[in-house]
Amino acid sequence: MRPGQKGRLAILISGRGSNLQAFIEACASGQLAAEICVVISNNPAATGLDRAAAAGIPTRCIDHRDFPSREAFDAALAREVALWRADLVILAGFMRILTPVFIQPLAGRLLNVHPSLLPKYPGLQTHQRALDAGDQEAGVTVHFVTLELDGGPPIIQARVPIIPGDTAESLAARVIVQEHVIYPLAAQWHIAGRLQLTEQGACLDGKPLPATGIDYRQEVA
């Protein structure tokens, strides 16, 4: 990308799209030097599609139920993403397990947000699992996507306290506020050419990041 040029983002969603909304706002404010070229959902009922349309962003729906296999769905998804020539592909509450067909061609250009302090609680029900374990804190991780589910190198994490009386819903509400802060920030690092996926893991400004990524409390943008 040439200096001063905006990055092109493709954002993949399955539902509400509050992280998508954070990206829309970060692009509008200039905090993120990017334009969202397309929002793609696997779920025709995803309300995030309405947010994208309201912001004038092209939307596409590729319904996974129309395909005979994960690989066939992933191939169609990869074809659609390629059409938009995105610099960076953002999984924002995209609730499908992806196969190498989709992941491998995008290595180093595919990010995910996961609502736990990875490597704790990959998969689903992360907040309830943190409560059941008696954890004192929970949080969110932005990471590169690799073939291991929720197992790619972390880029940044934000922590929140678990408060007595918390439910999965109250905890999720506290965590998502942090998601909306750290996900556009990580994307901006990537767009600015500061963030890479290397054999050593995630690197920022040429330096390998800690195994759990940057701790947002210590981060200085």
CB under 6 A: which stretch of 10-18, 36-44, 60-68, 205-213 binds ligand GAR?
Answer: 10-18
| Residues facing residue 210 across a β-bridge | none
Query: Of all residues in this chain, which one has the CB nearest to ligand GAR in the complex?
Result: 93
CB of 130 to ligand GAR, least distance (A): 13
Applying CB under 6 A, which of residues 8, 51, 114, 190 lies at the interface with ligand GAR?
A: 114
Active site residue 190: no
Which among 64, 114, 180, 190 is annotated as catalytic?
A: 114
User: Binding mask 59-88 vs ligand GAR (x if CB under 6 A, - otherwise)?
Assistant: ------------------------------
CB under 6 A: which stretch of 16-24, 51-59, 77-85, 98-106 binds ligand GAR?
Answer: 16-24
Residues 174-203 that bind ligand GAR (CB under 6 A): 176, 179
When asked if residue 19 is in the footprint of ligand GAR (CB under 6 A), the reply is yes
Residue 91 has phi, psi (to 5 degrees) of -90, 115
Residues 20-59 that bind ligand GAR (CB under 6 A): 48
- By CB under 6 A, name the binding residues for ligand GAR: 13, 15-19, 48, 92-93, 113-115, 176, 179
Active site residues per annotation:
114
